[in-house]
Every structure is written in C-alpha cells, then in structure tokens.
Chains A and B, each alone.
Chain A
C-alpha cells in the first residue's frame, strides 16, 4: 500500500511537472512576440536610492521605443524581480527574470550588489548591464564578456576633477580626504592621485575616515592646520551619502572654506540642507538635472518629468538611457538580440553619439573611461553647470584596476 501510494504520488509529481513545463513553454512562446528585458534590481531597500530612478529612466526608453514601433519590429516588455538590496536575493532575481525570457538583464548600480544577478545572465549567455556601477570590474573582468556598466569608471571622476582643477581653477596644492568605507571612493581618489601630480600639482597630505564615523573631528583639525600652514588650494573628498554630507558639514563648521571636489556620488541638491550656505563645491557628472549644456539631456529631463511628475534627483538616473541607445543600435545592426553578435558590434563603438554625448567600448573595457564630463557647482541651493571637461590621456589600466599605488 505504502509503495503504491508512493508510486501514485510520484506519478502525480511527474504529471504536475509536465503540466508545469507546458505552462512554461506556452509562456515562452507568448513571450516570443516581445523582446523581454529583465530588471533584477533593488525595487526596495537601501540600494533603491540608486536603482529606482535609473529603472524609471530605462522604462522611459522602453516606452519611447515601443511608441516608435519597437525593436526589430517587436515590442519590448519589461519584467521585474526585486533584489531587496540583498546580494543573495540578487542571484535569485537574476534567475527569475531569465526564466521569464529576458534577453538583457539590468543589475543593481553597484558591482558588489549587482554582480550576483549579472553572473546569472552571463551563465545563461545573456547580456547584463549594471545600472550605474563605477568599478571597471563590473564588466569583462568581474562578470564576463557579456557584461557592461552604464556608468563611467570612478577613476575618471577623480582624474577629471584633478585636470580641470589644475588647469582651469589654478589649484596647485591639494589635500585628499578619502572615505575608505567603499571601493568606489578609493577608485575616485586613485584617479585624482594619478592625474593631479601628472599635471604638476602637489598632494600635500591625505587622510581617511569611514562613512559611518560619528565624527571626523581630528581629520578636520589636521586639514585646518594644513590649510593655514601650507596654503592648500583645494580639498579632494572621496565620499558618498550619508557620511558625505556629514563630512562636508563638519569641514565647513571647522572653518575649512577652501573649494571641495568630490566624485559624482555627491551630485544633487537633496542633501545640501545639511550644509547651510554651501558654496565652492564641485562634482563631475554625466548629465546635469537642471541646465545641462546639452539640448538632448534637457529634453530627456523634460520627458522624464512629464512621465513621473518630477525630474530625476541625481545624474545616476541618466547613463542607462545612453547605454540602451547603443544596445538598440547594435541589435538593429545585428538583426538579433543574441548576445554574441550584439556585444561584438557594441565593442566596436568609438565615440558613438548618444543623448548624453559620445560613448565607447572595447573588448576589454565595458565601462566609460574616457568621456567628457560636466563639472557642476553646487551652491546657493542649486546646481550650475560650469564646463565640460575631457581628460587629455587615457587612464592607465593599472590605475583603473588599482593594481599599484600611483606614485
């Protein structure tokens, strides 16, 4: 009897599985009509601060493309899986959107958090793109040949600030304050450390703190002394929120009034309540939310605001739009969404124009390392585009992967 019930249960299981498979095939066939893009991103949790607006921007691109007749004559459909800002959930989310037929997987805007989903896509032979990871590892080296990042390398941010600061602002002596909590900050400062001395500038001193340090009192004391005794022109700060606004507040409260440079992570005006009367604070961005020098970016902001009721908060909403333009162009040329031919075409992109300006990829580098950035001045409660700046020479690979400390 026992054997029999076991057998029956097994049979039922097999039948159930068969029915299940049938359902999957039907679903896959229905999806055949549409091109499926899978968002394995943080729809909730802490990382949503970065993923939320980029996801909305990608949706805007999908809507616009569908309105124009879709891609390869097919409509684009988005499927979603929430990583809940959790790395383990990230792998599951990646798998889920792939099972739903995604040919392109969007991963969270950070290498560490996005890699689990991107790796699933790589394993399945599909293209993945980080919404905004600034680590060159978010691509060929860290994930695989089908993985991209929509962002620029953090080193480019630091290098751009160094060159622009030296040449346009006349900074000769700088102090570096590094928030050692995350790799992004170390990479930003690595870019500055490489470019500033190369220009002829001197890094007079450097110090570190951690993003969640309750106080940076002793760092402020040291920098204040250096400003007084060594006549420093600018402070290169490599940090992010929320520790970033706290650090700037403490620096300004400590009487340090020299210009502060930072990477894109401090873009936006949402945080400046923390620092009353903030001025002389500069960041490099891919797109300025208000008053970008490029008409195409301004139009994008207007369309985004029309769809969602308000403009994006920071530059991190924009890069995915330019990346999707390049992807769509490659798909159209290849006549397929298959990863291999599409990636081969994208890798040939050199200064290919997008809504955000020229973008390039190489077989080794699936992230922007040499594009013009807009320097933004955050002062008096608003952002003002100062100028566009493109570094003079490419950043060495050793700096991009922080293989050795630049001397």
Chain B
C-alpha cells in the first residue's frame, strides 16, 4: 500500500510538470491556433538563464545563486521577454498565415534557440545545484517523500488556481477567453488582438519559467535540448485533453504523467523498455473513443 502511495506521488509530481507545460502550449493554441514547439525551448532558456554564459565545462551560477524571492521573478521576466520577442519577431508577421505555417515557424524558433544555446554555452551538458534544500525527504508513516515533489505538486495547483481566477475574473483574462472563443468577434467588441496574444505569450512564458526551475531542481542537468521531451509529452497531453481546452490540457498532462509512471512501476521488467509504446497506445485508444479529446473545446469543435 505504501509502495502504491509512493508511486501515486511520483506520478502526480511528473504529471504536474506535464500539466504546467501542457497549459502553456494549450493556452497559445486556444488563442492563436499555434502549436508552439518552441515552448520546450522556453523552458531551456529559463534553466540556462541561471548560469553565466560561457563555454567553460563547469557552470558558474549567477542568477541561480540569488535568493529565491529574487531569482523566481527574474527568471520569469527573462523567459517572458524571450517568449514575447518570438511573438513580435516571428509570429506577429505571420498572423494571417495558416496553422501549419505557424507550426513550422515554431519549429524554426525551436531550432534557433537550441543552436543558439549550443553556441553560447558549448556542447557539453552542464550541471548545477539549484535549491538543494528541496532535495531532502520527509517520512510520513513509512512513506518516503521528497520535499521537491510536494513543492512541485503544490506549485502546480497554486499556478492553476491563479490562472483560473485570472481567466474568470480579471479584465485581461476575460479578454483572453473571449479571443480564444471567437477571435474576430472579440476584436469587433474592442479586444486588442495583438495585446491579448502578447499576453498569452507572457503567461506561457511564466509557466515555462516555473517548469524550468522545478525541473532543474529535480535533475540538476542542463542541456540545449532539455525542454524537448517535456514539450513532446505535453503536446500529447494537450491532444488527449482536447485541443484548445485549458482544463483538458491540465487533465491530459496529469493523465500522461500518471500513465507513464504507473507503467514504469508495474510493467514486467522485460516490457519496461517499451513503456512509451504502451503510453502512446493508451493515447490512441483515448482518441479512438473520444476523437476530440477528453474535454473538447467548443470553439475548436465548431470549426472542424
């Protein structure tokens, strides 16, 4: 039983990360119909922003050594600036382009960021020790619980609450929802399109920054493609949850995290190597049963 609980917490912790990434991807898709493959690279930038840009093999922490109360807003600001810059320089000129064009453009952004990091920081992966205080464990009745997992799950729940309050009650949040529902109509009613889209990029930047810090505290390893697997699974989560639906993205993220962890935990040893194949089989089954995802978005369904 304790073993099972342990696995559940492992699963929720991984699911939290996926959910946060999926939320960032889902948000942009909802408003812009942009499948942003560069989202994973925003996470990479958040992580690399902690260290001194240099090709030295040993990483020197700069921002990473600051107090968390300063560190978190600074990293968020850096990722938000990068995310908004990609909007201004890449996606805004392509505003009237089709969804596939936008997606290809996001691939280009992703490729540029990855190689830019490679050029600035060198090819060798780097290592940092972020917030080692979080890597201790608490034992609750035989349950070994890393503090970081609790913080990860807590942060995710907190960020989701803030986001749903923002989208429900704040003026800008309502505008974002309106734009996601019907972009043209929202514009007719006075919502400034570019502003709302910029805002969506900023919010997805904050989510990416949060993931980069939680992820880095867990792994301690930096590489120029570190965000890619997260974004890939989160994208799958968005599809499972229902393209364009934010609750769907969250549910999908948790589901993918839970399924992956549970398969790893309970598959027989010989089959564990094929864990991802089982995960994707599960995804296919979900999509066969509910082609529009678990919680389909109304506005997307109408367009299809």
Asked if B265 contacts A221 (CB within 8 A), the reply is: yes
| Cα A212 to Cα B18 with chains together (Å) | 14
What is the CB-to-nearest-CB distance from A268 to chain B, in angstroms, rounded to a whole number?
8
CB neighbours of B261 from chain A (8 A): 215, 217-218
Asked if A271 contacts B144 (CB within 8 A), the reply is: no
| Cα A210 to Cα B148 with chains together (Å) | 21
| Cα A249 to Cα B136 with chains together (Å) | 11
For A45, A48, A217, A254, the residue with the greatest tally of chain B CB atoms inside 10 Å of its CB is A217
Asked if A274 contacts B221 (CB within 8 A), the reply is: yes
Find the B residue at minimum CB distance from A271: B127
CB neighbours of A241 from chain B (8 A): 124-125, 221, 223
| Cα A243 to Cα B215 with chains together (Å) | 12
Asked if B220 contacts A255 (CB within 8 A), the reply is: no
Asked if A246 contacts B137 (CB within 8 A), the reply is: no
Q: Any chain A CB within 8 A of the CB of B146? A: yes
Q: B-facing mask of A93-122, CB < 8 A → 1, else 0?
A: 000000000000000000000000000000
| Interface residue stretch chosen among B5-13, B29-37, B76-84, B290-298 | B5-13
Q: Any chain B CB within 8 A of the CB of A275? A: yes
What is the CB-to-nearest-CB distance from B148 to chain A, in angstroms, rounded to a whole number?
7
Find the A residue at minimum CB distance from B264: A218
Find the A residue at minimum CB distance from B132: A276
Q: B-facing mask of A219-240, CB < 8 A → 1, else 0?
A: 1111011000000000000000
Q: Any chain A CB within 8 A of the CB of B179? A: no
Asked if A275 contacts B220 (CB within 8 A), the reply is: yes
CB neighbours of A275 from chain B (8 A): 127, 129, 220
Q: B-facing mask of A178-214, CB < 8 A → 1, else 0?
A: 0010000000000000000000000001111110111
Q: Any chain A CB within 8 A of the CB of B194? A: no
Q: Any chain B CB within 8 A of the CB of A65? A: no
Find the A residue at minimum CB distance from B12: A217
Asked if B148 contacts A212 (CB within 8 A), the reply is: no
Interfacial residues of chain A within 21-58, with CB under 8 A of chain B in the complex: 42, 44-49, 52
| Cα A221 to Cα B137 with chains together (Å) | 13
Q: Any chain A CB within 8 A of the CB of B238? A: no
Q: A-facing mask of B109-137, CB < 8 A → 1, else 0?
A: 00000000010001111111100100111
Asked if B146 contacts A254 (CB within 8 A), the reply is: yes
CB neighbours of A246 from chain B (8 A): 218-221
What is the CB-to-nearest-CB distance from B22 to chain A, in angstroms, rounded to a whole number?
13
Q: Any chain B CB within 8 A of the CB of A280? A: no
Asked if A250 contacts B57 (CB within 8 A), the reply is: no
CB neighbours of A47 from chain B (8 A): 123
Find the A residue at minimum CB distance from B14: A215
Q: A-facing mask of B263-302, CB < 8 A → 1, else 0?
A: 0110001001100100000000000000000000000000
Asked if B10 contacts A215 (CB within 8 A), the reply is: yes
CB neighbours of B209 from chain A (8 A): none
| Cα A49 to Cα B57 with chains together (Å) | 9
Contact A218-B265, Cβ < 8 Å, known A246-B219, A271-B127: yes
Asked if B221 contacts A222 (CB within 8 A), the reply is: no
CB neighbours of B129 from chain A (8 A): 273-276
CB neighbours of A244 from chain B (8 A): 221
Q: Which of A49, A180, A274 contacts B128 (CB 8 A)?
A: A274
CB neighbours of A63 from chain B (8 A): none
- The number of residues on chain B lying at the interface, defined by a beta carbon within 8 Å of a beta carbon of chain A, is 51
CB neighbours of A221 from chain B (8 A): 3, 6-7, 10, 144, 265
Interface of A (DSSP majority class): mixed
CB neighbours of B88 from chain A (8 A): none
Find the B residue at minimum CB distance from A241: B125
Q: Any chain B CB within 8 A of the CB of A287? A: no
- The number of residues on chain A lying at the interface, defined by a beta carbon within 8 Å of a beta carbon of chain B, is 49
What is the CB-to-nearest-CB distance from B1 to chain A, in angstroms, rounded to a whole number?
13
CB neighbours of A217 from chain B (8 A): 10-11, 13-14, 149, 261
CB neighbours of B137 from chain A (8 A): 253-255
Q: Any chain A CB within 8 A of the CB of B203? A: no
Q: Any chain B CB within 8 A of the CB of A320? A: no
| Cα A182 to Cα B240 with chains together (Å) | 29
Asked if A270 contacts B124 (CB within 8 A), the reply is: yes
| Interface residue stretch chosen among B99-107, B184-192, B224-232 | B224-232
Q: Which of A46, A250, A268 contacts B123 (CB 8 A)?
A: A46
Contact A48-B3, Cβ < 8 Å, known A212-B228, A250-B219: no
Asked if A270 contacts B229 (CB within 8 A), the reply is: no
Interfacial residues of chain A within 263-295, with CB under 8 A of chain B in the complex: 268, 270-276
Find the B residue at minimum CB distance from A254: B146
Q: Which of A48, A85, A222, A271 contacts B125 (CB 8 A)?
A: A271
| Cα A252 to Cα B132 with chains together (Å) | 12
What is the CB-to-nearest-CB distance from B20 to chain A, in angstroms, rounded to a whole number?
11
| Cα A62 to Cα B202 with chains together (Å) | 53
| Cα A149 to Cα B7 with chains together (Å) | 43
CB neighbours of B272 from chain A (8 A): 207-208
CB neighbours of B215 from chain A (8 A): 214
Asked if B220 contacts A214 (CB within 8 A), the reply is: no
CB neighbours of A42 from chain B (8 A): 123
Q: Any chain A CB within 8 A of the CB of B58? A: yes
CB neighbours of A274 from chain B (8 A): 127-129, 219-221
| Cα A271 to Cα B126 with chains together (Å) | 6
Contact A253-B229, Cβ < 8 Å, known A207-B269, A219-B264, A273-B58: no
Contact A48-B228, Cβ < 8 Å, known A218-B7, A249-B220, A273-B58: no
Pull 23 A–B residue pairs with CB atoms less than 8 Å apart, ordered by A. A44-B118, A44-B123, A47-B123, A48-B122, A52-B123, A210-B276, A214-B17, A214-B233, A215-B261, A217-B261, A221-B6, A224-B144, A241-B221, A242-B126, A242-B221, A245-B127, A245-B221, A253-B148, A270-B124, A270-B126, A271-B221, A276-B132, A276-B135
B residues contacting A by CB (< 8 A) are 3, 6-7, 10-11, 13-14, 17-18, 57-59, 118, 122-129, 132, 135-137, 144, 146, 148-149, 215, 218-226, 228-230, 233, 261-262, 264-265, 269, 272-273, 276
Could you list 12 further interchain pairs (A-B, Cβ under 8 angstroms) beyond the known A218-B10, A275-B220, A276-B129? A206-B269, A215-B261, A241-B124, A245-B219, A268-B57, A270-B126, A270-B127, A273-B128, A274-B128, A274-B129, A274-B219, A276-B132
